[in-house]
């Protein structure tokens, strides 16, 4: 009997021939990540361990992205602590503002996370890198401290839930719609401590940016990881990026799984998650007409170049509704530069959107887009809990870039097809 992709990845990292769900293992870490919220706690704990040097200065990434550019003195102190630690330890992958990006977009872009690896990050959306065929998962800051000291961490091997998307995606439907549909079907705890593995012809036809979006939000279904088997799309993405050799690992066809779901995506509408849960998912047509105050396009979920292209295609020749604030946040400096070269930023500015430097900012209610009491936002971000983007009396809806752009134009939640051909 075969093994799943998750089991093979963890077995390799543990130096074992085989592992089984529920087994506790100690695994070698290929990359450990911290940001300006979580790394300072880990750094303080690292100091208490009594180890003078990190296990490998090339295998740790520290990225200030949540409250940067620094929103206040406390945020500046957090980043300074992380910056000083990176300098003392000679951390190779510390990315200051101006060179940084939203962590889960930046690391793949730089070729620092690769197929066959085990990646941990003190941030729940570390599962993003599963799109490349890595076992990537979020951990607490104390676990990050231990990994920085030893290069290892313990895991409980998760069972696998396989999601197979069949058919062909309709126009204006993408990775965000697929993952929202998945979360809506499974619920926020439907994949609790399982590895979600996405496969099928729809996934095979999906570009890397759409795949990153899907793996990014696996955690919203409670999953430990969101895996996509590497293929030609993965190889093409990594061709000029990979910083080190890697190995492609795929699961066996006869591997036992906890559950398998097969869904035909051929008739799928763009999906929208209503407050206050990423699982409160509906076709956009069921929520059309809800009035908005703010729209956010960006984040580690949908701030990549394909996302900005999709939004720009809808916004070209149009203007944001006078009642709505539209914030566009490229996920990395490279994405920002590419959007500039392609004329996308001009489209956004002509539409009267605000274009920001890369930051997590409004996604977590940090800064640069906080909602007041009673305000309603639609965002391409990943969470819409009570108070997620500001005041507890505000509301956040989640959708993909095309729906976000169309909704910014109409001032209400809208299917992009409603706008007709671009002007």
Pairing of strands 24-28, 152-156: antiparallel
Estimate to the nearest angstrom the gap between the alpha carbon of 422 and the chain centroid.
29
The residue from 262, 296, 315 where one domain ends is: 262
pLDDT at 116: 98
Q: Is the pLDDT of residue 422 over 70?
A: no
Say yes or no: 26 and 127 in one domain.
yes
Say yes or no: 57 and 166 in one domain.
yes
pLDDT tens-digit map of 250-272: 999 999 999 999 999 999 999 99
Say yes or no: 286 and 384 in one domain.
yes
**Across residues 118-123, what is the average pLDDT?**
98
Which residue range(s) make up the domain with 235?
5-262
Say yes or no: 203 and 336 in one domain.
no
Indicate the pTM of the whole model.
0.95
pLDDT tens-digit map of 261-306: 999 999 999 999 999 999 999 999 999 999 999 999 999 999 999 9
Number of domains comprising the chain: 2
Say yes or no: 79 and 182 in one domain.
yes
What percent of the chain stands above pLDDT 90?
97
Say yes or no: 254 and 282 in one domain.
no
Say yes or no: 248 and 294 in one domain.
no
Average pLDDT, rounded, for the chain: 96
pLDDT tens-digit map of 357-397: 999 999 999 999 999 999 999 999 999 999 999 999 999 99
Say yes or no: 254 and 325 in one domain.
no
> Which phi and psi angles does 318 have, rounded to 5°?
-125, 170
Do residues 397 and 384 lie in contact, with contact meaning Cβ atoms separated by under 8 Å?
A: yes
Say yes or no: 372 and 237 in one domain.
no
pLDDT tens-digit map of 149-158: 999 999 999 9
> What CATH number corresponds to the domain at position 115?
3.30.499.10
Say yes or no: 122 and 226 in one domain.
yes
Say yes or no: 166 and 184 in one domain.
yes
Nearest in space to 265 (alpha carbons), one of 396, 153, 397, 166 = 166
pLDDT at 423: 47
**What CA–CA distance (Å, rounded) separates 240 from 110?**
10
Tokens of 3: 């093994």
Say yes or no: 292 and 245 in one domain.
no
**Across residues 155-173, what is the average pLDDT?**
97
């Amino acid at each position: 009997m075969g093994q799943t992709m998750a089991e093979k990845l963890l077995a390799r990292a543990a130096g074992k021939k085989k592992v089984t769900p529920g087994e506790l293992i100690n695994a070698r870490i290929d990359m450990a990540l911290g940001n300006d919220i979580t790394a300072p706690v880990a750094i303080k704990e690292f100091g208490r361990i009594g180890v003078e040097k990190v296990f490998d200065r090339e295998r740790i990434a520290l990225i200030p992205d949540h409250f940067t550019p620094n929103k206040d003195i406390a945020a500046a102190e957090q980043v300074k602590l992380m910056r000083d630690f990176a300098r003392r330890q000679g951390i190779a992958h510390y990315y200051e503002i101006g060179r940084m990006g939203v962590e889960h977009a930046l690391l793949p872009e730089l070729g620092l996370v690769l197929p066959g690896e085990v990646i941990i990050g003190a941030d729940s959306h570390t599962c993003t890198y599963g799109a490349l065929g890595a076992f990537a998962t979020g951990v607490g800051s104390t676990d990050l401290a231990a990994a920085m000291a030893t290069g290892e961490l313990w895991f409980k091997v998760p069972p696998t839930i396989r999601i197979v998307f069949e058919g062909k995606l309709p126009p204006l439907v993408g990775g965000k719609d697929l993952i929202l549909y998945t979360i809506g079907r499974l619920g926020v705890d439907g994949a609790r401590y399982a590895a979600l593995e996405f496969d099928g012809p729809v996934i095979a036809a999906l570009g890397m940016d759409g795949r990153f979006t899907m793996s990014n939000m696996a955690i919203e279904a409670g999953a430990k990881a969101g895996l996509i088997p590497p293929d030609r799309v993965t190889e093409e993405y990594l061709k000029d990026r990979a910083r080190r050799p890697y190995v492609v690992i795929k699961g066996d066809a006869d591997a036992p799984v906890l559950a398998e779901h097969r869904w035909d995506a051929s008739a799928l509408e763009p999906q929208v998650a209503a407050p206050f849960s990423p699982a409160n998912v509906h076709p956009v047509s069921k929520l059309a007409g809800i009035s908005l105050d703010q729209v956010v396009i960006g984040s580690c979920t949908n701030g990549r170049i394909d996302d900005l292209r999709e939004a720009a295609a809808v916004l070209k020749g149009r203007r944001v509704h006078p009642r709505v604030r539209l914030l566009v946040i490229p996920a990395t400096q490279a994405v920002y530069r590419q959007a500039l070269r392609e004329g996308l930023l001009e489209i956004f500015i002509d539409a009267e959107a605000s274009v920001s430097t890369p930051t997590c900012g409004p996604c977590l209610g940090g800064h640069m887009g906080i909602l007041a009491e009673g305000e309603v936002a639609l965002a391409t971000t990943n969470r819409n809990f009570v108070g997620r983007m500001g005041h507890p009396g505000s509301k956040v809806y989640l959708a993909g870039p095309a729906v976000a752009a169309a909704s910014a134009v109409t001032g209400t939640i809208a299917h992009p097809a409603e706008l007709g051909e671009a002007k």
